[in-house]
């Protein structure tokens, strides 16, 4: 078994966390590596092995992993015990309970891990463009405050996500963002023809900082441009692959 590769952030120092790459997993084919997506067409038993390896890397049992059925919403779930049934439909989790791993799966969207070390409150969010413009990041901060966190003490780190140079969008996408706020034009660059290049992590950082997070940063890893380390939905479409793996990000007290 090859070893797992885990990206961490000094900003979250003191809280166990990790943005896992695809290295060190048991999957093969287009899923080669640490595919942790039970919703993929990969073999379920292999995905379970991969998730178990990720949990073990953070000192957790698989049963202590808490996840949600991600639907690009602005809904946040507060968890206090390991899940016993199907995960709820939401796109972020928060907790103040030690020993629970908050799990987010991505393949271009932003995985965002949150921590208020002083209050002992953590969070994890899945923020694609739809969730980000819909308020998932702000709602995660609010849900952490409900557990005793202070917004100015919260650190938020965006993990590997698609970068601007790889994220081409159409004019309708651009217009939707301008309709929300004219100043959103700053997150777009001109592409070829009528296309634009959207800066998702810059938009995520902007939303976090505007919402009053104490510290926000991006690890500066692009999922699309590094196929050896990351899965990418958009890259899989361009390559006409049948499916794609999901990267796991996790944080625990």
Domain ranges of the chain: 6-161+216-252
Are 103 and 249 in contact by the 8 Å Cβ rule? The answer is yes
Q: Which CATH class is domain 6-161+216-252?
A: alpha beta
Q: What's the mean per-residue pLDDT of the chain?
A: 97
Could you tell me which of 251, 253, 216 has the C-alpha nearest to residue 17? 251
Quick one: pLDDT at residue 83?
82
Could you tell me which of 230, 235, 237, 206 has the C-alpha nearest to residue 36? 230
- Per-10-residue mean pLDDT for the chain, 253 residues long? 90 97 97 96 97 97 96 97 89 97 98 98 98 98 98 98 98 97 98 97 98 98 98 98 97 97
In tens, the pLDDT along 177-226 reads: 999 999 999 999 999 999 999 999 999 999 999 999 999 999 999 999 99
């Amino acid at each position: 078994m090859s070893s797992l590769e885990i990206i961490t952030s000094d900003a979250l120092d003191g809280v166990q966390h990790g943005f896992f790459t695809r290295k060190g997993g048991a999957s093969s084919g287009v899923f080669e590596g640490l595919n942790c997506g039970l919703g993929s067409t990969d073999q379920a038993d292999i995905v379970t092995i991969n998730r178990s390896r990720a949990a073990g890397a953070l000192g957790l049992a698989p049963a202590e992993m808490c996840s949600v059925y991600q639907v690009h919403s602005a809904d946040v779930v507060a968890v206090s015990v390991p899940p016993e049934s199907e995960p709820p439909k939401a796109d972020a989790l928060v907790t103040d309970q030690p020993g629970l791993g908050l799990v987010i799966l991505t393949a271009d969207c932003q995985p965002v891990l949150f921590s208020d070390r002083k209050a002992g409150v953590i969070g994890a969010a899945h923020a694609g463009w739809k969730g980000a413009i819909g308020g998932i990041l702000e709602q995660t901060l609010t849900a952490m405050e409900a557990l005793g966190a202070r917004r100015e003490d919260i650190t938020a780190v965006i993990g590997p996500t698609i970068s601007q140079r790889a994220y081409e969008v159409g004019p309708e996408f651009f217009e939707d963002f301008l309709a929300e706020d004219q100043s959103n034009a700053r997150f777009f660059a001109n592409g070829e023809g009528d296309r634009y290049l959207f800066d998702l992590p810059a938009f995520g950082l902007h939303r976090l900082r505007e919402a009053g997070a104490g510290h926000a940063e991006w690890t500066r890893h692009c999922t699309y441009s590094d196929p050896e380390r990351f899965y990418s939905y958009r890259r899989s479409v361009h390559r006409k692959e049948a499916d794609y793996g999901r990267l796991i990000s996790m944080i625990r007290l």
